Amino acid sequence: MVETKWGQQAEALAQGRLDAVILNDWYAIASLAALSPGTVQSARVLDQDLVIWCGQDGTVQVWADRCPHRSVRLSRGKVVANTLVCPYHGMVYDTTGQCIQVPAHPDYVPPKQACVRSYPVQVQYGLVFVCLGDDPSAIAPFPEWTDDQFVKALAGPYPCQTGGYRAIENFLDLAHFAHLHTGILGDLEFPQVGDYAVTTDDRGVHFDDIHIWQPDPMNTGQGGFVTYAYSAFRPLTAYFRKTTPDGDCLTIWYVVTPVSEAECIGWMWMALNFIDASQTDDAIAFQDKVFEQDRDSLESHNPKRLPLDLTTEFHVPCDRGSLAYRQWLKQLGVTYGTL
């Protein structure tokens, strides 16, 4: 084990398991609505323990969850004005992470190394995102976010004991609808999956022209044919757009946060053009039901990490999308959470 102040994350870097494309991506760790001034929460991303705290001015900080004095968790501390106070010895840290006060020695001036590791933070789509790297990429686009024709609803968070890429691949998978979502998104009498187009470009991996009959595709109680288009914009961010012949449209923007190589948390923004704001709770409940139908299979994966060696698992023609996703991950140099 590599002994450094950054713990398991540094160990992963030293062993080559934490690649730049993953380290420099953005991961959702909290809903902004849940972070009122004075809030302190813990999170874990890429095996790194984090503390999220919101100052009285509403500014959100994300730091390593470790006091540099005696290494206790700062997430057990409290916010005073725009500082975070350690619960063990009362050390006071300002918004830069620097210790500015030591109660046991009021006149003591803490050294520069008395500083907590801080990370880049962005607030977008009503979520707080953190990047653990030094060269952040852009947060993946959510195309309907600014379109007033769509009502938006946030579903999740969905903790899941499986690797993040397994969760994304399940989101992109077509053949499981008939078996896990019978009576809603699929029918055991019609399990067939037709051909569809797959492309990979500088925006990610895309599946188009997918036509499927579903018993209740829009949670309206009406069955019919729908057309899907999928994209994986980032290794752990995916999206689909589902439309009916009548023009009803549901999109889901799915971002998965890797807690570890075998555990993740998913957040789903839905955009719907056929409901009003009073129906968002029903839309979220529907998505909760769909995810719970997926959970057992997701958590039963063995291994939980995704094999990028295509000989580890066998494949059938309708897997061409997931094969493209795995090949794309390999081209990006992804190793964390894979085999």
pLDDT averaged over every residue in the chain? 94
pLDDT for residue 310: 94
Q: Helices H, strands E: what count in the chain?
A: 6, 17
Residues of the chain with pLDDT > 90, as a percent, come to: 94
Beta strand ranges found along 144-234 (DSSP E): 151-160, 197-201, 204-214, 224-234
Cα 129 versus chain centre, distance: 9
Q: Over the stretch 61-120, which tens digit does the pLDDT of each residue have?
A: 999 999 999 999 999 999 999 999 999 999 999 999 999 999 999 999 999 999 999 999
Residues of the chain with pLDDT > 70, as a percent, come to: 95
Phi, psi (degrees; rounded to nearest 5) at 25: -90, 170
Q: What is the Cα–Cα distance from 156 to 71, expressed in whole angstroms?
A: 31
- What lies within 8 Å, CB to CB, of 46 at 6+ separation is 9, 12, 18, 22, 23, 27, 132, 258, 260, 336
Confidence of residue 266 (pLDDT cuts 50, 70, 90): very high
Q: What is the Cα–Cα distance from 136 to 289, expressed in whole angstroms?
A: 34
Query: Within the chain, which residue ranges are assigned CATH 3.90.380.10?
Result: 151-332
pLDDT for residue 14: 45
Q: What is the Cα–Cα distance from 298 to 158, expressed in whole angstroms?
A: 12
Q: Which helix (H) or strand (E) holds 30?
A: strand 27-31
Write the single-letter amino acid at 127: L
- Is the pLDDT at 15 greater than 90, yes or no? no
Q: What is the Cα–Cα distance from 308 to 163, expressed in whole angstroms?
A: 13
CA R_g for the chain: 22
Structure tokens at 150: 């769509």
pLDDT for residue 9: 52
pLDDT for residue 2: 32
Query: Within the chain, which residue ranges are assigned CATH 2.102.10.10?
Result: 7-130
Q: What is the Cα–Cα distance from 304 to 262, expressed in whole angstroms?
A: 5
Write the single-letter amino acid at 25: D
Q: What is the Cα–Cα distance from 72 to 323, expressed in whole angstroms?
A: 44
pLDDT for residue 17: 58
- What lies within 8 Å, CB to CB, of 138 at 6+ separation is none
Q: What is the mean pLDDT of residues 208-236?
A: 96
Confidence of residue 18 (pLDDT cuts 50, 70, 90): confident
Q: Report whether 256 contacts 170 (CB < 8 A).
A: no
Tell me the torsion sign for CA atoms 223, 145, 152, 240: positive
Q: What is the mean pLDDT of residues 136-146?
A: 95
Bridge partners, residue 231, by sequence: 206, 239
- Is the pLDDT at 16 greater than 90, yes or no? no
**7-130: CATH superfamily:** Rieske [2Fe-2S] iron-sulphur domain (2.102.10.10)
Q: Over the stretch 149-193, which tens digit does the pLDDT of each residue have?
A: 999 999 999 999 999 999 999 999 999 999 999 999 999 999 999
pLDDT for residue 12: 52
DSSP letter at 202 equals T
- Is the pLDDT at 10 greater than 80, yes or no? no
Alpha-carbon distance values, 170 to 187, 220, 289 (Å): 18, 24, 15
**151-332: CATH superfamily:** Naphthalene 1,2-dioxygenase Alpha Subunit; Chain A, domain 1 (3.90.380.10)
Structure tokens at 18: 């934490």
